[in-house]
Chain A
Amino acid sequence: MNIAVLSGKGGTGKTTVSTNLSIALNANYVDCDVEEPNGFLFLKPNIEDVKEVEEEYPVINKEKCVGCGMCVKACNFNALAKVKDNILVFDKLCHSCGACQYVCKFGAVEYAKRVIGKIECGTSYGLSVKQGILNIGEPMAVPVIKKLLNSIDRNELNVIDCPPGTSCNVVNTLKYSDFAVLVTEPSNFGLHDLKLAIELVKSFNIPFGVVINKDNGEDNIIKKYCRDNSIKILGTIPFNKKTAELYSRGEILYFDNQHKNIFDELVNNIREVLSWN
């Protein structure tokens, strides 16, 4: 069972919810926000294993290449260009699709591997925790996300900390998810991006619910939207200074007596929704 925590808008509290939810649920934690993973700042695990993530890219064998440019025409990602019968490779744009190798009649396209990121595994509070890290300057996060999610056991309970937004990175994370927790805040931006996230999650036909962070306790635009659209609110995190202080010190909210019940209630509500589906 993979529970994805996503948001649409960035900075609404995905990592706060997913780290605390992992501990409350006694579930594995998986940080798929590989461009800027930050769950380990709170979980502070001992890193026990590091695996490199490699991507394939074409290398032109100059002895075999006749400079016909078929590979350049076949590439959908502008990773190849032809200048004066020389083929130039822009490896960061390559999606490793193999089209250039397929169309080359002279066997001049070979593939090599380069490291684009890594996966770190460790233990924190007795839980198995993992994070993907995309190397600085690399434009494509999806290969790291896929390798990370292929390495986890779906028969176990896993909480997946998603990247923000509704990009390819989030879509590829949701492909592996059985339930979605959408974290938002009662602001216009929060609502706008929540709608996008809901639209995306609905396309996967998985059950989902909303968590409102920085909740002022009053009726607000998120509560109204959820009420009008029959969307389950799984929990709320109050807007107060104590929460912000614990967060900014990198502490786990669940270990604070005033905050523990917030996540216990979230766990109960998730279990309740999942028993219906």
Chain B
Amino acid sequence: MRVVISATGKDINDLMDVRFGRCRYFQIHDTEAGEFRVLENEGQKSGGGAGIAAAQQIIDEGVDVVITGSLGPNAFDLINKAGIKAYKCNEMRIKEVIDKFKNGELEEINMAGPAHHGM
């Protein structure tokens, strides 16, 4: 399963970023192979519609799951339509996020959070 996590850094010891559209990096973890790679978030550079740009990027990557703090209305709409499952997590180290996900401890995001949350 390919899981994308909004991240503050490129390492599994770096913290998850609770912002989706304006996070610095996306870490894409392959939970079976135990491998991961890192993308710079296209959304953080955009003047407006950061959530849309970020969502488009991870949809194009063909991931199965996204883990972040919350999704704004536009990003939620896209992730939902793309059939990607979204889970909510607090700020913690990426390796802990993955453990929590594997143990089924994360709550699914079923509705959009406030717009412009990460400004």
Binding site for B on A (CB under 8 A): 72, 77-79, 81-84, 86, 88, 90, 93, 139
Q: How far is the CA of A83 from the CA of B56 in the complex (A)?
A: 8
Main SS at interface, chain B? helix
Q: Given the interface contacts A72-B56, A83-B82, does A78 sit within 8 Å of B77 by beta carbon?
A: no
Interface size on B, residues (CB 8 A): 16
Asked if B50 contacts A84 (CB within 8 A), the reply is: no
Asked if A139 contacts B78 (CB within 8 A), the reply is: no
Q: How far is the CA of A82 from the CA of B59 in the complex (A)?
A: 9
Residues of A within 8 A of B78 (CB): 81, 83, 88
Q: How far is the CA of A72 from the CA of B74 in the complex (A)?
A: 15
Residues of A within 8 A of B56 (CB): 72, 78, 81-82
16 contacts between A and B (CB under 8 A): A78-B46, A78-B50, A78-B52, A79-B52, A81-B52, A81-B55, A82-B56, A82-B59, A83-B78, A84-B81, A84-B82, A84-B83, A88-B81, A90-B74, A93-B49, A93-B52
From 29 to 69 in chain B, residues with beta carbon under 8 angstroms from any chain A beta carbon are 46-50, 52-53, 55-56, 59
Give the distance to chain A from B79, nearest Cβ to Cβ, in Å.
9
Residues of B within 8 A of A78 (CB): 46, 48-50, 52-53, 56
- B17-28 to A contact mask, C-beta < 8 Å, 1/0: 000000000000
Give the distance to chain A from B27, nearest Cβ to Cβ, in Å.
22
Q: Given the interface contacts A72-B56, A90-B74, does A83 sit within 8 Å of B49 by beta carbon?
A: no
Residues of B within 8 A of A72 (CB): 56
Asked if A83 contacts B81 (CB within 8 A), the reply is: yes
Give the distance to chain B from A242, nearest Cβ to Cβ, in Å.
41
Asked if A139 contacts B48 (CB within 8 A), the reply is: yes
Q: How far is the CA of A82 from the CA of B53 in the complex (A)?
A: 10
Residues of A within 8 A of B77 (CB): 88
Q: How far is the CA of A78 from the CA of B74 in the complex (A)?
A: 11
Binding site for A on B (CB under 8 A): 46-50, 52-53, 55-56, 59, 74, 77-78, 81-83
Which of these, B52, B59, B81, contacts A90 with CB under 8 Å?
B52
Q: How far is the CA of A81 from the CA of B78 in the complex (A)?
A: 8
Q: How far is the CA of A79 from the CA of B50 in the complex (A)?
A: 10
Asked if B82 contacts A93 (CB within 8 A), the reply is: no
Residues of A within 8 A of B53 (CB): 78
Q: How far is the CA of A139 from the CA of B49 in the complex (A)?
A: 11
Asked if A77 contacts B48 (CB within 8 A), the reply is: yes
Residues of B within 8 A of A86 (CB): 81
Please give me the residue from chain B that is nearest to A81 by CB atom.
B56
11 further contact pairs, Cβ within 8 A, besides A81-B56, A90-B52: A77-B47, A77-B48, A81-B52, A81-B55, A82-B56, A83-B59, A84-B81, A84-B82, A86-B81, A88-B81, A139-B48
| 10 smallest beta-carbon distances between A and B, as pairs | A78-B49, A78-B52, A93-B49, A83-B81, A83-B82, A78-B53, A81-B56, A81-B52, A81-B78, A78-B46
Give the distance to chain B from A177, nearest Cβ to Cβ, in Å.
25
Give the distance to chain A from B108, nearest Cβ to Cβ, in Å.
19
Residues of B within 8 A of A93 (CB): 48-49, 52
Q: How far is the CA of A78 from the CA of B83 in the complex (A)?
A: 20
Asked if A77 contacts B49 (CB within 8 A), the reply is: yes
Q: How far is the CA of A77 from the CA of B55 in the complex (A)?
A: 14
Q: How far is the CA of A93 from the CA of B46 in the complex (A)?
A: 12
Give the distance to chain B from A233, nearest Cβ to Cβ, in Å.
36
Q: How far is the CA of A82 from the CA of B81 in the complex (A)?
A: 10
Residues of A within 8 A of B47 (CB): 77
Q: Pick the most buried of B47, B50, B55, B56: most chain A CB atoms within 10 A of its CB.
A: B56
Residues of A within 8 A of B46 (CB): 78
Residues of A within 8 A of B59 (CB): 81-83
